[in-house]
Structure 1
Amino acid sequence: MTITITAFEQSPDGGKGLARDTRVRWALEEVGRSYETRLVSLAAMKQPAHLALHPFGQIPTYEEGDLAIFETGAIVFHIAERHPGLLPPDENARARAIMWMFASLNTIEPPILDLTTASLVERDRSWARERLPLVEDRIRSRLGPLSSRLGDVDWLDGTFSAGDLLMVSVLLRLRASGLLDEFPNLAAYVCRGEARPAYQRAFEAQYAINCPAA
């Protein structure tokens, strides 16, 4: 059955790969599944047709046969469960990979998204200058333990998994802030993720949509 995902017709990040459809593309590339992409505009995302797929009017969504799901983590988990390559066969290792999936989205990503809000949406507020360092320190309080846990190994639990896929995708959002550079092993970890052929194919696919003349 054909897999169809939705993506921004024109991503707000201009093709830097930070939109969440890139995470789903990467997962599909890692497991060797082809897919089709249906592009939606910001206006179309709020129309009934798209809201039937994603009640919060966001991307990505995933359709395959009579299955339609949303939420990036759920989609990546669905892909990882049904195709080899993203979850280890050993039960304990599999549980740990899923643990890291949750950690990336529930523990690491929220303060990083808060930084985006503080830096862009709230930057003209009278209290923005005082708030920003607090947000940055909260991020550091997450990155420190993550850096210690990763140490000098390549991946979070021995072999690359869906946990690494999501963690790298989340950490990529920090590159422009300079915070990632404070933790050299995490910066190198992100570079390893980006160097994977599956990631490169996923990035190029979304970049071609956003920067067709490049």
Structure 2
Amino acid sequence: MTITITAFERSPDGGRGLARDTRVRWALEEVGQPYEVRLVSFLAMKEPVHLALHPFGQIPTYQDGGLTLFETGAIVFHIAERHSGLLPGDAHARGRAMTWMFAALNTVEPTILELVTAKLVEGDKPWTPARLPLVMDRIRIRLGQLSSHLGDADWLDGAFSAGDLMMVSVLLRLKMSGVLTEYPNLAAYVARGEARPAYKRAFDAQLALYRDMSSTG
């Protein structure tokens, strides 16, 4: 059976590749696995049919035969384990790649999502002007630490892995803020990720979907 993932019917990111289905698309493109996309409206995401796939009413979900997964970390890890190309063969290197996947989602992304919340969700709140500098300070601490580790290397631990896929996906959320330019090696790192043919295919597929929906809306 063909793998099926879910995506926003109308993505709030405007086709910029920030919706989380892009991470799953990218992983599938890296390992050369075909997939289908089922579009879900915001209303349908809260209905029982979708909640049976994703208890928190979000996207993406991943279905392959009798297996259903949610959460991008779990989905990408599953893809990486089943297909070659995203995890090293050496056991130690494999463990480090998995560590970077968790670091991207658990250590780096939460600070970045604070900025998204402060600007988009709480932008009109009276505490936002005082909160934003604190949020940016926390982001810069994480970026400084990541920049120091990366140094002048192309990827986080040798060859490109699922750890890099997740980290680049997380850092992409900062492109519009301009803060990545303060860390040239991280900006170059993200650009290398975006330049990968598999990423371009995933991005173009999501962008085409957004354009199609916009033209018919």
TM-score, shorter chain, exceeding 0.5:
yes
User: Which structure 1 residue ranges, 4+ long, deviate > 2 Å from structure 2?
Assistant: none
Alignment of 1:164 onto 2:168: no
Match of 1:185 in 2: 185
Shift of 1:191: 0.2
Query: For residues 121 and 69 of structure 1, what CA distance do their matches in structure 2 show?
Result: 28
Give CA-to-partner distance per residue, 1:55-113, whole Å, 9 cap, x none. 00000000000000100000000000000000000000000000000000000000100
Query: For residues 211 and 15 of structure 2, what CA distance do their matches in structure 1 show?
Result: 7
Match of 2:94 in 1: 94
Count of residue pairs the alignment pairs up: 213
Alignment of 1:79 onto 2:64: no
Letter aligned with residue 123 of structure 2 = R
Letter aligned with residue 177 of structure 1 = S
Alignment of 1:32 onto 2:32: yes
Match of 1:21 in 2: 21
Shift of 1:127: 1.1
TM-score, reference length from structure 1? 0.99
Equivalent residue runs for 1:139-178 within 5 Å: 139-178=139-178
Query: For residues 184 and 177 of structure 2, what CA distance do their matches in structure 1 show?
Result: 14
Match of 1:116 in 2: 116
Query: For residues 65 and 171 of structure 2, what CA distance do their matches in structure 1 show?
Result: 33
Give CA-to-partner distance per residue, 1:1-23, whole Å, 9 cap, x none. 21000000110011000000000
Match of 2:8 in 1: 8
Shift of 1:204: 0.6
User: CA RMSD, aligned part only?
Assistant: 0.6
Task: Mark the runs of 5 or more structure 2 residues left unpaired by the alignment.
Answer: none
Moved more, 119-128 or 58-67: 119-128
Match of 2:131 in 1: 131
Query: For residues 59 and 75 of structure 1, what CA distance do their matches in structure 2 show?
Result: 11
TM-score, reference length from structure 2? 0.97
Task: Mark the runs of 5 or more structure 1 residues left unpaired by the alignment.
Answer: none
Shift of 1:124: 1.1
